Amino acid sequence: MFSKTKTLFIVIPIFLLFFFPAKVEARSFSIDAVDVNAYIYPDGDLYVEELYTYTFAGKFNGTTRIIGDDDFDGVEFFEGYQVPDDAEMGKITPENVTPLQVEREDYTYKVHRPYKDETKKVFYRYRLKNVANKYEDVGE
Per-residue confidence band for 69, with pLDDT thresholds at 50, 70 and 90: confident
Cα-based torsion angle of the residue sequence 89, 126, 56, 23 in order, rounded to the nearest 10 degrees: -170
Taking the model in full, what pTM does it have?
0.78
User: Is the pLDDT at 60 greater than 50, yes or no?
Assistant: yes
Indicate the DSSP class of residue 21. Answer: P
Q: Which long-range contacts (CB under 8 A, 24 or more apart) does 96-99 make?
A: 97/123
pLDDT at residue 19, rounded to an integer: 53
pLDDT at residue 7, rounded to an integer: 46
pLDDT at residue 13, rounded to an integer: 52
Please give the Cα distance from 6 to 131 (Å, whole number): 71
Q: What integer best gives the mean pLDDT of the chain?
A: 85
Distance of CA 54 to the CA centre of its chain: 9
Per-residue confidence band for 126, with pLDDT thresholds at 50, 70 and 90: very high
Beta bridge partners of 98: 82
Per-residue confidence band for 23, with pLDDT thresholds at 50, 70 and 90: low
CB atoms within 10 A of CB 67: 17
